[in-house]
Amino acid sequence: MAEFVYRSVILFVLVFLILQSSGSHGQMLPAIFVFGDSFVDVGNNNYLPLSLAKANFPHNGIDFPSRKATGRFSNGKNIVDLLAEKVGLPSPPPYLSIDSDSSTSYLWGVSFASGGAAIFNTTSNPLNTQSIPLWQQVEYYLKVHDHLTKQLGSAHAQKHLSKSLFFIVIGSNDILAYSRSINQNIPPKKYVNQMTTLLKAKLKILHTHGARKFMVVGLPPVGCCPAQRIQNETRGCREDTNTWTVMYNEALESMSKELKSELKDMSYSYSHTYPLIHGFIQDPASNGFKEVKTACCGLGNLNAQFPCLPTSTHCSNRTDHLFWDLYHPTEAASRRFIDNVFDGPPQYTSPVNVRQLIAL
Protein backbone atom coordinates (compact mmCIF):
# COMPACT_ATOMS: atom_id res chain seq x y z
CA MET A 1 0.00 0.00 0.00
CA ALA A 2 2.73 2.44 1.02
CA GLU A 3 4.56 1.65 -2.16
CA PHE A 4 1.42 2.22 -4.19
CA VAL A 5 0.91 5.64 -2.57
CA TYR A 6 4.57 6.47 -3.07
CA ARG A 7 4.42 5.52 -6.72
CA SER A 8 1.22 7.46 -7.24
CA VAL A 9 2.77 10.57 -5.72
CA ILE A 10 5.86 10.24 -7.91
CA LEU A 11 3.67 9.73 -10.95
CA PHE A 12 1.53 12.73 -10.07
CA VAL A 13 4.57 14.95 -9.60
CA LEU A 14 6.11 13.74 -12.83
CA VAL A 15 2.97 14.30 -14.83
CA PHE A 16 2.55 17.72 -13.25
CA LEU A 17 6.13 18.68 -14.09
CA ILE A 18 5.78 17.45 -17.64
CA LEU A 19 2.56 19.33 -18.24
CA GLN A 20 4.05 22.48 -16.72
CA SER A 21 7.25 22.33 -18.64
CA SER A 22 6.05 21.30 -22.08
CA GLY A 23 6.78 23.99 -24.52
CA SER A 24 8.62 26.31 -22.17
CA HIS A 25 11.74 24.95 -20.47
CA GLY A 26 14.18 23.43 -22.94
CA GLN A 27 11.87 20.93 -24.49
CA MET A 28 9.93 22.41 -27.36
CA LEU A 29 7.04 19.95 -27.35
CA PRO A 30 5.66 17.26 -25.05
CA ALA A 31 6.18 14.09 -27.11
CA ILE A 32 7.03 12.48 -30.44
CA PHE A 33 5.09 9.48 -31.75
CA VAL A 34 6.81 7.66 -34.60
CA PHE A 35 5.22 5.48 -37.28
CA GLY A 36 7.20 3.87 -40.04
CA ASP A 37 9.88 1.54 -41.31
CA SER A 38 13.59 0.84 -40.85
CA PHE A 39 14.54 4.48 -41.43
CA VAL A 40 13.04 5.21 -38.01
CA ASP A 41 13.08 1.84 -36.18
CA VAL A 42 14.82 2.33 -32.83
CA GLY A 43 14.70 -1.33 -31.84
CA ASN A 44 11.16 -2.71 -32.16
CA ASN A 45 12.32 -5.53 -34.41
CA ASN A 46 14.67 -6.77 -31.68
CA TYR A 47 11.48 -8.04 -30.04
CA LEU A 48 10.21 -9.92 -33.11
CA PRO A 49 11.76 -13.38 -32.94
CA LEU A 50 11.07 -14.28 -36.57
CA SER A 51 12.08 -10.99 -38.16
CA LEU A 52 15.05 -11.00 -40.52
CA ALA A 53 15.00 -7.20 -40.71
CA LYS A 54 17.26 -6.69 -37.74
CA ALA A 55 20.22 -4.49 -36.94
CA ASN A 56 21.01 -5.49 -33.36
CA PHE A 57 24.48 -6.71 -34.20
CA PRO A 58 27.75 -5.09 -35.32
CA HIS A 59 28.78 -3.12 -37.26
CA ASN A 60 25.51 -1.25 -36.70
CA GLY A 61 25.85 1.22 -33.85
CA ILE A 62 29.62 1.56 -34.27
CA ASP A 63 29.28 5.35 -33.81
CA PHE A 64 26.28 5.30 -31.43
CA PRO A 65 27.06 6.90 -28.03
CA SER A 66 27.16 3.41 -26.44
CA ARG A 67 29.20 2.04 -29.42
CA LYS A 68 26.69 -0.83 -29.42
CA ALA A 69 24.12 -2.05 -31.91
CA THR A 70 20.62 -1.12 -30.72
CA GLY A 71 18.43 -2.23 -33.61
CA ARG A 72 18.90 1.05 -35.47
CA PHE A 73 19.83 0.58 -39.13
CA SER A 74 22.68 3.07 -38.88
CA ASN A 75 26.28 3.49 -37.84
CA GLY A 76 24.98 5.85 -35.15
CA LYS A 77 21.83 7.85 -34.60
CA ASN A 78 18.90 7.85 -37.00
CA ILE A 79 16.56 10.70 -37.94
CA VAL A 80 14.27 10.07 -34.94
CA ASP A 81 17.17 10.46 -32.50
CA LEU A 82 18.37 13.60 -34.25
CA LEU A 83 14.91 15.14 -34.27
CA ALA A 84 14.46 14.33 -30.57
CA GLU A 85 17.84 15.94 -29.91
CA LYS A 86 16.73 19.13 -31.68
CA VAL A 87 13.60 19.48 -29.57
CA GLY A 88 15.19 18.50 -26.26
CA LEU A 89 13.36 15.20 -25.77
CA PRO A 90 14.75 11.74 -25.10
CA SER A 91 14.61 9.53 -28.17
CA PRO A 92 11.19 7.82 -28.20
CA PRO A 93 11.67 4.23 -26.98
CA PRO A 94 10.53 1.22 -29.00
CA TYR A 95 6.90 0.42 -28.18
CA LEU A 96 7.69 -3.28 -27.77
CA SER A 97 10.31 -2.51 -25.11
CA ILE A 98 7.80 -0.92 -22.73
CA ASP A 99 5.97 -2.67 -19.95
CA SER A 100 2.69 -0.80 -20.25
CA ASP A 101 1.59 -1.37 -16.63
CA SER A 102 4.41 0.44 -14.93
CA SER A 103 4.70 3.28 -17.12
CA THR A 104 5.16 6.97 -17.45
CA SER A 105 7.23 6.06 -20.47
CA TYR A 106 4.60 7.01 -23.01
CA LEU A 107 4.56 10.61 -21.85
CA TRP A 108 7.50 11.70 -23.99
CA GLY A 109 6.34 9.61 -26.92
CA VAL A 110 7.07 6.21 -28.32
CA SER A 111 8.17 4.66 -31.59
CA PHE A 112 6.02 2.05 -33.31
CA ALA A 113 8.33 1.91 -36.35
CA SER A 114 9.59 -1.44 -37.57
CA GLY A 115 12.13 -2.47 -40.19
CA GLY A 116 10.37 -3.97 -43.22
CA ALA A 117 7.07 -2.25 -42.42
CA ALA A 118 4.91 -1.14 -45.30
CA ILE A 119 1.58 0.54 -45.95
CA PHE A 120 0.16 -2.52 -47.71
CA ASN A 121 -0.23 -5.68 -45.69
CA THR A 122 1.19 -7.83 -48.44
CA THR A 123 4.28 -5.94 -49.46
CA SER A 124 6.31 -6.06 -46.31
CA ASN A 125 9.65 -7.39 -47.48
CA PRO A 126 9.02 -10.99 -48.56
CA LEU A 127 12.40 -11.95 -47.09
CA ASN A 128 11.22 -10.47 -43.86
CA THR A 129 8.87 -12.88 -42.21
CA GLN A 130 7.94 -10.45 -39.50
CA SER A 131 7.53 -6.72 -39.04
CA ILE A 132 4.88 -4.42 -37.57
CA PRO A 133 2.79 -3.27 -40.55
CA LEU A 134 1.29 0.21 -40.49
CA TRP A 135 -2.20 -0.93 -39.48
CA GLN A 136 -0.71 -2.72 -36.45
CA GLN A 137 1.35 0.34 -35.49
CA VAL A 138 -1.88 2.35 -35.45
CA GLU A 139 -3.61 -0.30 -33.29
CA TYR A 140 -0.73 -0.05 -30.83
CA TYR A 141 -1.10 3.73 -30.76
CA LEU A 142 -4.77 3.35 -29.80
CA LYS A 143 -3.63 1.40 -26.72
CA VAL A 144 -1.17 4.16 -25.85
CA HIS A 145 -3.94 6.71 -26.32
CA ASP A 146 -6.15 4.79 -23.86
CA HIS A 147 -3.29 4.59 -21.41
CA LEU A 148 -2.55 8.33 -21.57
CA THR A 149 -6.24 9.17 -21.26
CA LYS A 150 -6.45 7.13 -18.06
CA GLN A 151 -3.18 8.56 -16.76
CA LEU A 152 -3.72 12.26 -17.50
CA GLY A 153 -7.48 12.49 -17.78
CA SER A 154 -9.20 13.10 -21.06
CA ALA A 155 -8.75 16.88 -21.27
CA HIS A 156 -5.07 16.87 -20.34
CA ALA A 157 -4.32 13.94 -22.62
CA GLN A 158 -5.99 15.75 -25.50
CA LYS A 159 -3.96 18.89 -24.83
CA HIS A 160 -0.74 16.88 -24.49
CA LEU A 161 -1.32 15.02 -27.77
CA SER A 162 -2.41 18.12 -29.67
CA LYS A 163 1.03 19.67 -29.06
CA SER A 164 2.93 16.46 -29.79
CA LEU A 165 4.54 15.59 -33.10
CA PHE A 166 3.39 12.60 -35.15
CA PHE A 167 6.33 11.58 -37.29
CA ILE A 168 5.42 9.49 -40.36
CA VAL A 169 8.14 7.75 -42.42
CA ILE A 170 6.71 4.94 -44.54
CA GLY A 171 6.29 3.82 -48.17
CA SER A 172 9.82 2.77 -49.22
CA ASN A 173 9.05 -0.91 -48.72
CA ASP A 174 5.90 -0.67 -50.84
CA ILE A 175 7.92 0.97 -53.64
CA LEU A 176 10.73 -1.59 -53.29
CA ALA A 177 8.14 -4.39 -53.49
CA TYR A 178 6.77 -2.86 -56.69
CA SER A 179 10.33 -2.70 -58.07
CA ARG A 180 10.59 -6.47 -57.41
CA SER A 181 7.58 -6.85 -59.75
CA ILE A 182 5.16 -7.43 -56.90
CA ASN A 183 1.76 -5.97 -57.89
CA GLN A 184 3.09 -4.63 -61.19
CA ASN A 185 -0.18 -5.77 -62.78
CA ILE A 186 -1.51 -2.57 -61.16
CA PRO A 187 -0.44 0.58 -63.08
CA PRO A 188 2.02 2.65 -61.00
CA LYS A 189 -0.25 5.67 -60.66
CA LYS A 190 -3.01 3.49 -59.29
CA TYR A 191 -0.59 1.70 -56.97
CA VAL A 192 0.73 4.91 -55.39
CA ASN A 193 -2.80 6.28 -55.05
CA GLN A 194 -3.82 3.13 -53.20
CA MET A 195 -0.84 3.67 -50.90
CA THR A 196 -1.83 7.23 -50.03
CA THR A 197 -5.51 6.32 -49.68
CA LEU A 198 -4.63 3.69 -47.10
CA LEU A 199 -2.21 6.03 -45.33
CA LYS A 200 -4.80 8.80 -45.25
CA ALA A 201 -7.31 6.52 -43.53
CA LYS A 202 -4.69 5.71 -40.88
CA LEU A 203 -3.79 9.37 -40.32
CA LYS A 204 -7.48 10.10 -39.84
CA ILE A 205 -7.63 7.48 -37.10
CA LEU A 206 -4.66 9.15 -35.40
CA HIS A 207 -6.44 12.50 -35.70
CA THR A 208 -9.61 11.06 -34.14
CA HIS A 209 -7.36 10.02 -31.27
CA GLY A 210 -5.71 13.32 -30.55
CA ALA A 211 -3.04 13.81 -33.24
CA ARG A 212 -2.91 17.33 -34.64
CA LYS A 213 0.66 17.93 -35.85
CA PHE A 214 2.09 15.63 -38.50
CA MET A 215 5.60 15.53 -39.89
CA VAL A 216 5.08 13.68 -43.18
CA VAL A 217 8.36 12.59 -44.73
CA GLY A 218 8.53 12.12 -48.50
CA LEU A 219 10.63 9.27 -49.86
CA PRO A 220 14.28 9.70 -50.86
CA PRO A 221 15.31 8.64 -54.38
CA VAL A 222 14.75 4.95 -53.61
CA GLY A 223 16.24 3.90 -56.99
CA CYS A 224 19.60 5.40 -55.95
CA CYS A 225 20.25 3.25 -52.88
CA PRO A 226 23.15 0.82 -53.38
CA ALA A 227 20.76 -2.18 -53.44
CA GLN A 228 19.00 -0.66 -56.47
CA ARG A 229 22.12 0.63 -58.23
CA ILE A 230 23.57 -2.88 -58.48
CA GLN A 231 20.52 -3.80 -60.54
CA ASN A 232 21.72 -1.28 -63.15
CA GLU A 233 24.70 -2.41 -65.28
CA THR A 234 26.23 1.07 -65.25
CA ARG A 235 25.60 1.38 -61.48
CA GLY A 236 23.43 4.41 -62.11
CA CYS A 237 20.15 4.81 -60.23
CA ARG A 238 17.23 2.57 -61.22
CA GLU A 239 15.20 5.14 -63.12
CA ASP A 240 11.91 3.19 -63.06
CA THR A 241 11.99 2.98 -59.27
CA ASN A 242 12.73 6.69 -59.03
CA THR A 243 9.80 7.47 -61.34
CA TRP A 244 7.42 5.54 -59.06
CA THR A 245 8.95 7.22 -56.04
CA VAL A 246 8.32 10.68 -57.48
CA MET A 247 4.72 9.66 -58.28
CA TYR A 248 4.24 8.49 -54.72
CA ASN A 249 5.73 11.67 -53.27
CA GLU A 250 3.38 13.81 -55.37
CA ALA A 251 0.42 11.73 -54.19
CA LEU A 252 1.64 11.97 -50.60
CA GLU A 253 1.95 15.73 -50.66
CA SER A 254 -1.49 16.14 -52.25
CA MET A 255 -2.99 13.78 -49.71
CA SER A 256 -1.50 15.83 -46.86
CA LYS A 257 -3.07 18.98 -48.32
CA GLU A 258 -6.43 17.27 -48.69
CA LEU A 259 -6.29 16.02 -45.14
CA LYS A 260 -5.67 19.53 -43.88
CA SER A 261 -8.61 20.89 -45.81
CA GLU A 262 -10.85 18.12 -44.44
CA LEU A 263 -9.66 18.34 -40.85
CA LYS A 264 -9.37 22.03 -40.10
CA ASP A 265 -7.50 21.68 -36.82
CA MET A 266 -4.72 19.53 -38.28
CA SER A 267 -1.31 20.87 -39.43
CA TYR A 268 1.59 19.25 -41.19
CA SER A 269 5.09 19.76 -42.48
CA TYR A 270 5.89 17.75 -45.60
CA SER A 271 9.59 17.00 -46.10
CA HIS A 272 10.85 17.13 -49.69
CA THR A 273 13.34 14.34 -49.05
CA TYR A 274 13.80 13.45 -52.71
CA PRO A 275 15.28 16.72 -54.01
CA LEU A 276 17.29 17.15 -50.81
CA ILE A 277 19.01 13.74 -51.06
CA HIS A 278 19.24 13.95 -54.83
CA GLY A 279 21.18 17.17 -54.33
CA PHE A 280 23.68 15.30 -52.12
CA ILE A 281 24.09 12.67 -54.86
CA GLN A 282 24.56 15.17 -57.66
CA ASP A 283 26.98 17.37 -55.79
CA PRO A 284 28.62 15.31 -53.04
CA ALA A 285 31.54 17.66 -52.39
CA SER A 286 29.57 20.79 -51.55
CA ASN A 287 27.42 18.70 -49.19
CA GLY A 288 30.39 17.23 -47.34
CA PHE A 289 30.36 13.76 -48.93
CA LYS A 290 32.96 11.83 -50.89
CA GLU A 291 31.04 8.60 -51.52
CA VAL A 292 27.36 8.60 -52.46
CA LYS A 293 27.05 5.29 -54.33
CA THR A 294 28.83 2.61 -52.30
CA ALA A 295 27.51 1.50 -48.93
CA CYS A 296 29.91 1.92 -46.04
CA CYS A 297 29.11 -1.50 -44.57
CA GLY A 298 28.44 -4.62 -46.64
CA LEU A 299 30.09 -6.88 -49.20
CA GLY A 300 30.24 -7.27 -52.97
CA ASN A 301 29.44 -4.72 -55.68
CA LEU A 302 28.96 -1.30 -54.07
CA ASN A 303 28.96 -3.23 -50.75
CA ALA A 304 25.35 -3.96 -51.62
CA GLN A 305 25.30 -7.65 -52.48
CA PHE A 306 25.28 -8.50 -48.80
CA PRO A 307 23.85 -6.50 -45.92
CA CYS A 308 25.82 -5.07 -43.05
CA LEU A 309 26.61 -8.20 -41.01
CA PRO A 310 29.31 -8.85 -38.43
CA THR A 311 31.30 -10.56 -41.21
CA SER A 312 30.97 -7.58 -43.62
CA THR A 313 33.60 -4.92 -44.09
CA HIS A 314 32.96 -1.29 -43.23
CA CYS A 315 34.51 1.99 -44.28
CA SER A 316 36.83 3.83 -41.93
CA ASN A 317 35.29 7.28 -42.39
CA ARG A 318 31.54 7.22 -41.86
CA THR A 319 31.10 10.97 -42.17
CA ASP A 320 31.98 11.09 -45.85
CA HIS A 321 29.53 8.34 -46.93
CA LEU A 322 25.87 8.95 -47.78
CA PHE A 323 24.90 5.30 -47.27
CA TRP A 324 25.62 3.23 -44.21
CA ASP A 325 24.35 -0.04 -45.71
CA LEU A 326 22.60 -1.10 -48.89
CA TYR A 327 19.41 0.86 -48.01
CA HIS A 328 20.01 3.20 -45.09
CA PRO A 329 21.79 6.55 -44.63
CA THR A 330 24.73 7.22 -42.32
CA GLU A 331 24.24 9.35 -39.22
CA ALA A 332 26.04 12.15 -41.07
CA ALA A 333 23.48 12.07 -43.89
CA SER A 334 20.58 11.81 -41.43
CA ARG A 335 21.88 14.87 -39.58
CA ARG A 336 22.01 16.91 -42.78
CA PHE A 337 18.48 15.80 -43.57
CA ILE A 338 17.11 16.83 -40.16
CA ASP A 339 18.98 20.15 -40.20
CA ASN A 340 17.42 20.97 -43.55
CA VAL A 341 13.84 20.09 -42.69
CA PHE A 342 13.86 21.43 -39.14
CA ASP A 343 14.91 24.99 -39.87
CA GLY A 344 15.18 24.49 -43.52
CA PRO A 345 14.58 26.60 -46.53
CA PRO A 346 11.08 26.49 -48.06
CA GLN A 347 12.18 24.29 -50.96
CA TYR A 348 12.66 21.36 -48.58
CA THR A 349 9.53 21.68 -46.45
CA SER A 350 5.99 22.80 -47.10
CA PRO A 351 3.85 24.52 -46.14
CA VAL A 352 5.99 25.10 -43.01
CA ASN A 353 9.24 23.70 -41.65
CA VAL A 354 9.30 21.50 -38.57
CA ARG A 355 10.23 24.30 -36.17
CA GLN A 356 7.27 26.32 -37.42
CA LEU A 357 4.96 23.31 -37.15
CA ILE A 358 5.96 22.83 -33.52
CA ALA A 359 5.43 26.52 -32.75
CA LEU A 360 1.92 26.65 -34.25
Q: Smallest distance from the beta carbon of 41 to ligand NAG, in angstroms? A: 20
- For residues 201 and 360, which CB has a smaller minimum distance to ligand NAG in the complex? 201
Q: How far apart are CA 318 and CA 328, in angstroms?
A: 13
- Please state the closest distance from residue 239 (CB atom) to ligand NAG, in A: 4
Tell me how far apart the alpha carbons of residues 92 and 162 are, in angstroms, rounded to a whole number: 17
Distance CA 190, CA 4 (A): 55
Active-site residue, 343 included: no
Closer CB to ligand NAG, 250 or 320, in the complex: 320
Minimum distance of ligand NAG from residue 12's CB (angstroms): 38
CB of 281 to ligand NAG, least distance (A): 12
Burial class (CB in 10 A: 0-12, 13-18, 19+), 89: buried
Surface-to-core class of residue 338, CB atoms within 10 Å of its CB (0-12 exposed, 13-18 middle, 19+ buried) = buried
Please say if 59 is a catalytic residue. no
Q: Nearest Cα to 81, choosing from 91, 73, 89? A: 91
Question: What's at 321, amino acid-wise?
Answer: H
Nearest distance, CB of residue 25 and ligand NAG, angstroms: 35
**The one catalytic residue among 160, 209, 314, 328:** 328
* Catalytic position from the list 22, 38, 74, 271: 38
Closer of 71 and 223 to ligand NAG (Cβ): 223
Question: Residue 22 or 303: which CB sits closer to ligand NAG?
Answer: 303
CB-nearer residue toward ligand NAG: 96 or 281: 281
Segment (H or E) for 277: helix 273-282
Amino acid in the structure at residue 116: G
Burial call 226-251: b when 16+ CB within 10 Å, e when fewer: bbbbbeeeeeebbebbbebbbbbbeb
Which of these is catalytic: 131, 256, 325, 334? 325
The number of helix segments (H) and strand segments (E) in the chain equals: 11, 8
Minimal distance in Å, beta carbon 231 to ligand NAG? Answer: 8
Burial of 66 (0-12, 13-18, 19+ CB in 10 A): exposed
Please give the residue whose beta carbon sits closest to ligand NAG in the complex.
Answer: 236
Residues of this chain that interact with ligand NAG (CB under 6 A) are 121, 135, 198, 232, 234, 236, 238-240, 288, 290, 317, 319-320
* Of residues 77 and 293, the one with the C-beta less far from ligand NAG: 293
CB of 77 to ligand NAG, least distance (A): 17
8 noted as active-site residue: no
- Closer to ligand NAG by Cβ: residue 72 or 238: 238
Question: Cβ distance 76 to 61 under 8 Å?
Answer: yes
Contact assessment for residue 72 and residue 41, using Cβ atoms and an 8 Å cutoff: yes
Q: Distance between CA atoms of 240 and 238, rounded to whole angstroms?
A: 6
Q: For strands 109-111 and 297-298, give the pairing.
A: unpaired
- Distance of alpha carbon 53 from alpha carbon 305, whole angstroms: 16
Count Cβ atoms below 10 Å from residue 194 Cβ, excluding itself.
16
Q: Which residues are catalytic?
A: 38, 325, 328
